[in-house]
Amino acid sequence: MDIPTDTPPKPSPVPDGKPTPTEQKRASRGATRPGDRIFLGLSRGSGIVLLGIMAAVAAFLAYRSSVALADDSGNFLTTFEWDPAGITTGGKPYFGIAVLVFGTIVSSIIALVIAVPIAVGIALFISHYAPRQLAAPIAYVIDLLAAVPSIVYGLWGAIVVAPNLTGLYSWLDDYFGWTGIFEYQGGAPRSLMTVGILLAIMILPIITNVSREVFLQVPKFNEEAALALGATRWEVIRMSVLPFGRSGIISASMLGLGRALGETIAVATVLSPSFIIQASVLDYGGGTFAQNIASKFSEADEYGRDALIASGLVLFVITLLVNGAARMIIARRKEYSGANA
Amino acid sequence: MSITTVKPTGTPGGKPSPSDLKAARLPRWSPYVIAVGSLAVGCGIGLAADLDSRMQWGLIAAILFVGVSYFLSATVEGGRQAKDRLATSVVWVMFLLAVVPLASLIYETVKRGSKVLDGYFLTHSMGVVADDEAGGGIYHALIGTLEQVGLACLIAVPIGLLTAIYLVEYGRGKLAKTVTFFVDVMTGIPSIVAGLFVLSFWILMLGFGPSGWAGAMALSILMMPVVVRSTEEMLKLVPNELREASLALGVPKWRTILKVVLPTAIGGITTGVMLAVARIAGETAPVLLLVWGTPVINSDPFKDAQASLPLYIYQQYQSGNQVGYDRAWAAALALIVFIMILNIVARGIARWKAPKTGR
C-alpha cells in the first residue's frame, strides 16, 4: 500500500472558523470546501456529459433521418430497394430496410445458435472442468479472441474460411436442401451463413466471459449439497449451476446478440451483398444494416448519407433495446444474488 | 473424478464390483486412451476415404471420442456415470472447437503476413504505388492510427476517469443510477453508429471535411464506457480503510481521492485504459466514414483525410489482387502485434500493481 506521505494532515479536522453544529453536519457530507465543490462538480459534470452524448447521438440521428424519410417515395419499412439517388425511379429517392432487417436478424440468429452452446460449454469448462492451473490461461486465450480486431476477422473469413465452406455447403444442400433453407446453387459461399459463422466466433468471448462470471457466483453450498447426495459432476451442473445461471446465460446471449447486430466491417468484407430476400442462407446475397452503411457510404451523396443515417438509427434503437434488456436482467439478479455485495 | 457413488442393488451393468461399496469404474487413464485411439481412427478414416479437409478428420475423431466414451461408460459404469462422461467430453470438444479458429487465424496471419512485413514496409507509404503494384507500406497508416487513438484518449480518459470517480466516490441516487445504466448500454453501441453520429454532427451539420480528429471523436465515444467500467471496478477494490484514515486526518475528500484512492488503483486504471486503446485501435467502421483514408502521409489530424491501419487493411483487401492481399495480411499482422503488445503490457501492469486487498 503506497499511501503518499506528502499529504499534510490538517491541524484541525474542522474548516476554519467556529464549528457550529450545522456547519459540522455539512462538513461531514464533504462538499463544503471549494476544492471539494469543484471536484464534485467536475466529476458529476462528466457523468452528465456522458448522458448528453447518448442523448445527442439519438437526437442527431433522428433529425437527419427525418430529413431523409420526408423525401422517400418508397415505404421505409417494406421497400426491397436501396436507391436514394433515384436512378431507377427518375430522380425520386426509393429505399427501404426490409432486406436489411431480414439479413441482420438471420445472420445474428445463426451466430447465436452456433455460439451460445459452445460459449456455455467453454464457460463450464473454465469454471468446473478445466484443471485449476489451466483455467486462467484458457480464460486468457478466450480474451485473445476478443482482442483480435474485426477487420482481421473479416480478412481471415473472406480469404481463408469462405473458400473452405463450399464442401460443407454442398453437403448441407445434398441432405437438407429439401428444407429450402439449406439450398445451395454453387458460387462463392459469401452468404448469410458464412457471416453467421464468423459472427459466432466473434461473439464467443463475450458470451463466455459473462456466463463464466455467473457460473462462478453459484453458491458453493448448492453445489456441495448436490455432491453430498452423490450427484455426478454433470448432475451438479444440471441441478444447481444451470438453474442458477439461466438468467445470466440469457443476458450474456443478448449482449452477444447486440455485438452481432452491429458488426460492420467483418460482414462487409465477407458478404457478397444484394438487395434480395431469399429463403436459402447458403446462397450469397442479402445484407445487414451495418454492412450496408459501410458498403454504400463511399458512393452516397449527401442525401444518400441521410438515408444511411436513417437505417443507422433503426440499428441504434434495436441494439439499445437489446443491450438495455440484457443489462436489466443482469442488474436484477445482482440485487438478490448477494454474491456481488 | 473423485466422486464415487454408492451402488444400489441391481444397478445396470450388474457385474460384481471389486468392493461392495464402490461401483465399477473405468480406469483413470481411459479418457486419454480413448482420445488417442479415436484420433488415430479419425486420421485413418480420413486417409482411407481421402478427405482433404483436416477439419473433417478432427470432427470424425471428436464424434468417435464422445461416442466411444459414452458407450464404454454406459456398459461398465451405468447410465448416470455415462451421462457425466458424455457431458465432460462434450465440454472438452467445445473448448477445442473454440481454439481451432483462433489458432487458424493467428497461423494464417503470421504465415501470409510475414511475406511482406519488413523494415521497408513499416517506413514507407503508398504515395507513389499503384494498387496492383508490389511495394509500398503502412507508414502513413501507422501515423494516422497513433494520432487518432491518441486524440481519442485525450477526450475519453479524463471524462471516463471523472465519471468513474463520481460513480464510486459520490454517486448516490437517481443520477448515478442513470449514468451507470447508460454506461452499460453505451458499451453496446455499434461502432458504425458512433461514426454516423459524428458524421451527422461534425461533417453534415457543421460542414467540416473528413479528418483524423473527426475519427478520434467517434473513437472516444466507443472508448469512454470501457474506461468508466474498468476504472469503476478498480476504485471499488481500494479498501475503505484507506479513505477513512485519510479523511480522519482532516484531508479534504478531493485530496483523498487524488492522493490516496487514485494512486492505489493506478495500476488497474492504466490496464483498463490500455485495453480500451487496444479495442479502438482495431476499429474500422467509424474511420471509414470520417477519416476516409489516403495513400499519402498526412501527419496533421485536423486537416484533410488521413490513413489508419484497420482502414488500410480494408482498402487493400478491396483492391482485389494478390499484391493487395499480401499487403493487407502484412498490415493485419502489424495490427495484431500492436494490439497484443498493448494487451500483454496492460495485463503485466495489472499483475504488478494489483492493489492488495488483504483478502
Which amino acid is present at B30? S
- What band does A10 get if pLDDT is binned at 50, 70 and 90? very low
Residue in chain B lying closest to A341 (CA) = B236
φ/ψ (deg, to 5) at B292: 70, -35
Which amino acid is present at B232? E
- What band does A114 get if pLDDT is binned at 50, 70 and 90? very high
Give, for A82, the enclosing helix (H) or strand (E).
Answer: strand A82-83
B67 in contact with A, Cβ within 8 Å: no
Task: List CB contacts (< 8 A) between A3 and chain B.
Answer: 242, 245-246, 260, 263-264
C-alpha cell at B342: 498493448
Dihedral angle, C-alpha B316, B317, B319, B321, nearest 10 °: 110
pLDDT at A328: 84
* pLDDT tens digits, A250-300: 888 988 999 899 999 999 999 988 888 888 888 888 889 999 999 988 888
Residue/partner pairs of A327-330 with CB below 8 Å, 24 or more apart = A327/A251, A327/B181, A327/B184, A327/B185, A329/A247, A329/A250, A329/A251, A329/A254, A330/A210, A330/A247, A330/A248, A330/A251
Q: To the nearest whole number, what is the mean pLDDT of chain B?
A: 85
Residue in chain B lying closest to A289 (CA) = B192
Find residues 302-341 of chain B whose CB sits inside 8 Å of chain A: 310, 313-314, 317, 325, 328-329, 332, 335-336, 339-340
Contacts of B251 (CB under 8 A, 6+ apart): A7, A9, A10, B259, B260
Q: CA A34 to CA A32: how far, in whole Å? A: 6
Give yes or no for a contact between B289 and A297, defined as CB atoms under 8 angstroms apart: yes
Q: Which residues pair with A274 in a beta bridge?
A: A286
Q: CA A135 to CA B85: how far, in whole Å? A: 20
What is the sign of the dihedral through the CA atoms of B1, B3, B4 and B5? Answer: negative
Q: CA B234 to CA B165: how far, in whole Å? A: 10
Q: Where are the domains of chain B?
A: 30-113, 139-352
B194 in contact with A, Cβ within 8 Å: yes
Q: Got the DSSP string for A296-322?
A: HHTT--HHHHHHHHHHHHHHHHHHHHH
Closest partner residue to B84 among A33, A61, A232, by Cβ?
A: A232
Say yes or no to pLDDT of A140 above 70: yes
- Measured at the CA of A339, the angle between CA A338 and CA B1, to 5 degrees, comes to 135
Q: CA B50 to CA A84: how far, in whole Å? A: 52
C-alpha cell at B157: 480518459
A33–B252 CB contact, under 8 Å: yes
B266-to-B226, B233, B281 alpha-carbon distances in Å? 16, 12, 22
Radius of gyration, CA atoms only, chain A:
27
**Phi-psi category of residue A187: left, alpha or beta, with phi > 0 → left and psi -120 to 50 → alpha:** left
- What band does A8 get if pLDDT is binned at 50, 70 and 90? very low
- What band does B275 get if pLDDT is binned at 50, 70 and 90? confident
* Residue A4 C-alpha, separation from nearest chain B C-alpha, in angstroms: 6
Find residues 235-264 of chain B whose CB sits inside 8 Å of chain A: 242, 245-255, 257, 259-260, 263-264
Task: List CB contacts (< 8 A) between A143 and chain B.
Answer: 343
A152–B193 CB contact, under 8 Å: no
- Tell me what percent of the residues of chain A surpass a pLDDT of 70: 88
Highest mean pLDDT among A12-26, A31-45, B38-52: A31-45
Q: To the nearest whole number, what is the mean pLDDT of chain A?
A: 84
Say yes or no to pLDDT of B351 above 80: no
B70 in contact with A, Cβ within 8 Å: no
* Residue B228 C-alpha, separation from nearest chain A C-alpha, in angstroms: 10
Which of these ranges, A7-21, A326-340, B143-157, B203-217, has the smallest mean pLDDT?
A: A7-21
Taking each helix axis as running N to C, give the angle between helix B212-237 and helix B139-165, from 0 to 180 degrees, rounded to the nearest 10.
40
Helical H segments across B77-190, by residue range: 79-113, 119-123, 139-165, 173-187
Say yes or no to pLDDT of A22 above 70: no
> What's the pTM?
0.85
Task: List CB contacts (< 8 A) between B251 and chain A.
Answer: 7, 9-10
Reduced to 3 states (helix: H, G, I; strand: E, B; else coil), residue A286 is strand
Closest partner residue to B317 among A153, A259, A269, by Cβ?
A: A269
What is Dmax (Cα atoms) for chain B? 86
pLDDT at B308: 93
- What band does A338 get if pLDDT is binned at 50, 70 and 90? very low
Taking each helix axis as running N to C, give the angle between helix B30-48 and helix B79-113, from 0 to 180 degrees, rounded to the nearest 10.
60
Give yes or no for a contact between B183 and B230, defined as CB atoms under 8 angstroms apart: no
φ/ψ (deg, to 5) at B19: -120, 145
Helical H segments across A157-241, by residue range: 166-176, 192-217, 220-228, 233-236
Which amino acid is present at A133? Q
Residue in chain B lying closest to A314 (CA) = B193
Q: Which residues pair with A284 in a beta bridge?
A: A191
Other CB atoms within a 10 A radius of the CB of residue B249 amount to: 13
Contacts of B199 (CB under 8 A, 6+ apart): A305, A309, B214, B289, B290
pLDDT at A59: 94
Find residues 12-41 of chain B whose CB sits inside 8 Å of chain A: none
Other CB atoms within a 10 A radius of the CB of residue A64 amount to: 25
A19 in contact with B, Cβ within 8 Å: no
pLDDT at B327: 92
B80–A152 CB contact, under 8 Å: no
Q: Which residue has the higher pLDDT, B46 or A335?
A: B46
* Residue B351 C-alpha, separation from nearest chain A C-alpha, in angstroms: 13
Closest partner residue to A293 among B179, B192, B355, by Cβ?
A: B192
pLDDT at B356: 56
B102-to-A159, A164, A274, B196, B218 alpha-carbon distances in Å? 15, 16, 30, 31, 29
Q: CA A291 to CA A74: how far, in whole Å? A: 21
- Measured at the CA of B194, the angle between CA B193 and CA B199, to 5 degrees, comes to 90
User: How confident is the model over B30-49, as a mean pLDDT?
Assistant: 82
Say yes or no to pLDDT of A11 above 50: no
Task: List CB contacts (< 8 A) between A331 and chain B.
Answer: 181
B185–A261 CB contact, under 8 Å: no
pLDDT at B22: 65
Task: List CB contacts (< 8 A) between A237 and chain B.
Answer: 87
Q: Which residue has the higher pLDDT, A26 or B66?
A: B66
User: How confident is the model over A4-18, as a mean pLDDT?
Assistant: 46
Q: CA A315 to CA A305: how far, in whole Å? A: 15
Q: CA A25 to CA B193: how far, in whole Å? A: 47
Task: List CB contacts (< 8 A) between A263 and chain B.
Answer: 190
Task: List CB contacts (< 8 A) between A210 and chain B.
Answer: none
Residue in chain A lying closest to B291 (CA) = A298
* Residue A296 C-alpha, separation from nearest chain B C-alpha, in angstroms: 11
Q: Which CATH architecture has domain B139-352?
A: Orthogonal Bundle (1.10)
Which of these ranges, A4-18, A229-243, B291-305, has the smallest mean pLDDT?
A: A4-18
Say yes or no to pLDDT of B12 above 80: no
For cell 479523511, the residue is B247
Task: List CB contacts (< 8 A) between B185 and chain A.
Answer: 54, 320, 323-324, 327
- What band does A71 get if pLDDT is binned at 50, 70 and 90? confident
Contacts of B262 (CB under 8 A, 6+ apart): B269
Give yes or no for a contact between A73 and A53, defined as CB atoms under 8 angstroms apart: no
pLDDT at A340: 42
φ/ψ (deg, to 5) at B138: -120, 15
A252 in contact with B, Cβ within 8 Å: no
Q: Which residues pair with A191 in a beta bridge?
A: A284
Q: CA A333 to CA B176: how far, in whole Å? A: 19
User: How confident is the model over B209-229, as a mean pLDDT?
Assistant: 93
Taking each helix axis as running N to C, give the angle between helix A242-262 and helix A302-337, from 0 to 180 degrees, rounded to the nearest 10.
170
User: How confident is the model over B11-29, as a mean pLDDT?
Assistant: 61
Say yes or no to pLDDT of B334 above 90: yes
Q: Which residue has the higher pLDDT, B150 or B344?
A: B150
Closest partner residue to B163 among A46, A117, A230, by Cβ?
A: A46
Residue in chain B lying closest to A38 (CA) = B254
Helical H segments across B52-78, by residue range: 54-76
A294–B190 CB contact, under 8 Å: no
Other CB atoms within a 10 A radius of the CB of residue A254 amount to: 24
Say yes or no to pLDDT of B10 above 80: no
- What band does A193 get if pLDDT is binned at 50, 70 and 90? very high
Q: Which residue has the higher pLDDT, A32 or B235?
A: B235
Contacts of A206 (CB under 8 A, 6+ apart): A146, A252, A255, A256, A259
pLDDT at B23: 67
- What band does B15 get if pLDDT is binned at 50, 70 and 90? low
* Residue B103 C-alpha, separation from nearest chain A C-alpha, in angstroms: 10
Closest partner residue to A121 among B94, B101, B248, by Cβ?
A: B94
Cα separation of the two ends of chain B: 30
* pLDDT tens digits, B123-175: 888 888 887 888 888 999 999 999 999 999 999 999 999 999 999 998 788 99
Say yes or no to pLDDT of B313 above 90: yes
Q: Which residues pair with A82 in a beta bridge?
A: A95
Say yes or no to pLDDT of A28 above 80: no
Task: List CB contacts (< 8 A) between B347 and chain A.
Answer: 140
B178-to-A7, A54, B155, B167, B172 alpha-carbon distances in Å? 34, 12, 22, 10, 10
* Residue B274 C-alpha, separation from nearest chain A C-alpha, in angstroms: 12
Establish, for the pair of chains A and B, how many residue pairs have beta carbons separated by less than 8 Å: 307
Residue in chain B lying closest to A41 (CA) = B166
Residue in chain B lying closest to A256 (CA) = B188
Which amino acid is present at A29? R
φ/ψ (deg, to 5) at B134: -70, 165
